[in-house]
Chain A
């Protein structure tokens, strides 16, 4: 009919939703950009003064340093420069390291992503498996043991668990030798881009990765277990069984996909923090990642570095949330139409 002749573009509900989410993400990022600038300037401490404390630096020289950081100018001018530079991709020069912020961050980002990425992957896989098995065979020996262990690991402070593992496997107990290094990412004098280098990094990675994996398994296992238990009482599972489906199929095709929703949220929330790292574990194992870098930057306070690092952290969380939203729509049709 008439509708066929003039067809204008009308976004579907899904597209509208996607558009709204994208705009929301961009707005959040813009807010963070502005907020960061003022947030860090509220911190106590004058960077020029802190960088020269207890050293032979005359007051005039501190002034020169302050000028070179651009801190002598009115705040609104500093802010204008900051926004202009950041939008053009220039994050400035770190006060403390005296190198471009982007360069300093680039050096530290891959150790963090490697450590957090790998441990998130492992803890998710293992945690979900434990949760599913535990719920399906509720009150079995496996369930009771794994639930107990999960709760115990969940309750342990991360740094304590890290130190214990470090002593047990890094230093060795009694005649049991320490198998792994006590910290760092690689040994001096090794070529990273060689087989020996990869093995060396793997050896260094083992303990921090193990700690983080153990610490996070519990979270995934517990959430997965309880959401699956919720589903197990539902009528549709009785229906599925009544159709004659085998137990394994009922679990895989019906119960798990529905129980996965809360877990997905958790995974993506955690994914957002892959970039910002686990500062406690980076501290225990002297892992040269971003978490530690931001701590060092706070002490100065190194405004450009803090701004750069927090912009990155916020971007990671915002993007992870955006992905979670999109994936949710795929996993749960109710979200798509609602």
Chain B
């Protein structure tokens, strides 16, 4: 059937699509729901925006398509000194900026120094440079950075390298309002051509790109303000790619001729979070969290009462996997799986037993347990997010299971903005939310450190990253340790140990890793590259693999032909891989929230 689809794709392109296509140019049009906010790499914040920068600029080190491990980018190779404090990057020679000027190590040094010396420039990249002491370019091919402490993130510096000859004229004041829309100079595989606010961003291929010229001529991001219209545009062929689909439309696309639907492994998880005892970073208690949730045994009992598989099946429509650790399963080297004995299996009887044992008994016969002293009942506020159906459905299920173990919940649905405030003040008991985790685990792990709890600024309590107020000196010690461990295997051990600690102490019950649902016109384009390979998403990745590989199905087939292969086999295999991923992973789905922001 897959081969048949590939054949159809080769022979029949719908008439409408053909008309839309200007003669001789191969445009790849991607539908996006949020408009790109700013093309200035110091300003923009949305996932869509980062995707455009990745096309416009290069980075020192990239992420491999297979498993996100560091791969050469502008830096061809690198080495670290014996004391692990000095990094020397060999910068690729012969790379040119889109205005023809040569790109050298001096541009890279300029970019990093600008961020380190700047104020506004730190907003987007401050975290990457906080550990860097000096950045120098002794010659055009060498970049030397010294760090305060050894740091594995020196191979994860997601900072677009900017041309010094352009940006030196934009001073600190101007940079905060500079739009970077006219004649933007970059070195990436595509060059910004045109931007119309609220409508589209158009980029043209850089046929001189050092890592191979893209086979398509243009990438256009077209803004849709609603998912229905975006879906219709994909069906009609006005756009070639859509992501962030809901399960129902995704399922309907699976049977649509000329379209391939991909449920890709994704880096996001959802969780049920607890107020483990809200306090400021100084330790001063805040908020009004329920005292029972400060007791780890209550949280563990609740962990036994959450049927993760049921959530995946019934809330995600099967497009996801039950989760344990806070580093998603697609980061194979870092993710955590509990051993058989330590896992919280779904078991209401066990949950009840644990609560009884801990002294939380229902003494007045109202089916709600009370604190061990017989006082306050276990009646919790449980928040869900207005913006996410997944969140609202999940808490409905959770409410039912908790009722079965003698815990009453009062469900409230709030806007994310409002909920962020409430969490920051510690005025909650439980909530449902999620995170998207980047390939380096540092940031995600930092959200559970004591120092990430809320803080005081001028009399106001302000939220920081921590939303469970978890604080464990043991954990913090391990956090500091992984931060300075360069050896990937050793670091992975620590990272897993930290996740085990979180699993046991249960500030979160991590419920599932969801899939990202994507679809594209396979009658027009073939050659998409999944990341991770196999099973991952085919666009909105860490890198520009698909953009540089895709071509018309005919071209892809012909290329295989020249290589001596049997006609149609390469594309059939290509489609089969993606199609198989779609079928195999037909157990998954992703939620619709905009956590990626």
The chain A residues found within 8 Å of chain B, CB to CB, are: 43-46, 49-65, 68, 72, 93, 96-100, 104, 107-108, 163, 166-167, 170-172, 177-178, 181-186, 188-189, 282-289, 292-293, 296, 299, 301
Contact = CB atoms under 8 A, between A and B. Distances in A.
Contacts of B596: 54
B76 to A, nearest CB: 26
B11 interface: no
A167 B176 contact: no
Interface string B453-472: 00101100011110000000
B198 A108 contact: yes
Interface in B566-597: 595-597
Interface residues of B, number: 60
Contacts of A286: 199, 223-226, 229
Contacts of A296: 35
B389 interface: no
Interface stretch (B54-62, B118-126, B344-352, B547-555): B118-126
Given A57-B126, A108-B198, A292 B225 contact: yes
Given A96-B37, A177-B16, A286-B225, A172 B198 contact: no
B199 A185 contact: yes
B282 interface: no
B45 A284 contact: no
Contacts of A287: 225
Q: By CB atoms of chain A within 10 A, which of B127, B176, B194, B198 has the most? A: B198
B40 A166 contact: no
Contact of A54 (B127, B176, B177, B597): B597
Nearest to B178: A98
Given A61-B122, A181-B238, A44 B202 contact: no
Contact of B198 (A56, A284, A288): A288
Contacts of B197: 104, 107-108, 288
B29 to A, nearest CB: 8
A65 B123 CA distance: 7
Given A182-B236, A286-B224, A292-B198, A56 B443 contact: yes
B436 interface: yes
Interface of B: 15-16, 22, 35, 37-38, 40, 43, 45, 119-120, 122-124, 126-128, 130, 176-177, 179, 194, 196-200, 202, 220, 222-226, 228-229, 232-233, 235-236, 238, 415, 417-418, 420-421, 424, 435-436, 443, 455, 457-458, 462-465, 595-597
Closest 8 CB pairs of A and B: A288-B198, A45-B417, A44-B418, A56-B127, A182-B233, A286-B225, A188-B202, A283-B225
Contacts of A186: 196, 199
A45 B420 contact: yes
Contact of B236 (A97, A178, A282, A284): A178
A97 B126 contact: no
Contacts of B40: 98
B127 A182 contact: no
Contact of A178 (B16, B179, B465): B16
Contacts of A166: 229, 232
Contacts of A64: 119-120, 122-123
A189 B176 contact: no
Contacts of A65: 123
Contact of B130 (A58, A62, A184, A283): A58
A170 B198 CA distance: 20
A93 B177 contact: yes
Nearest to B463: A49
Contacts of B122: 61, 64
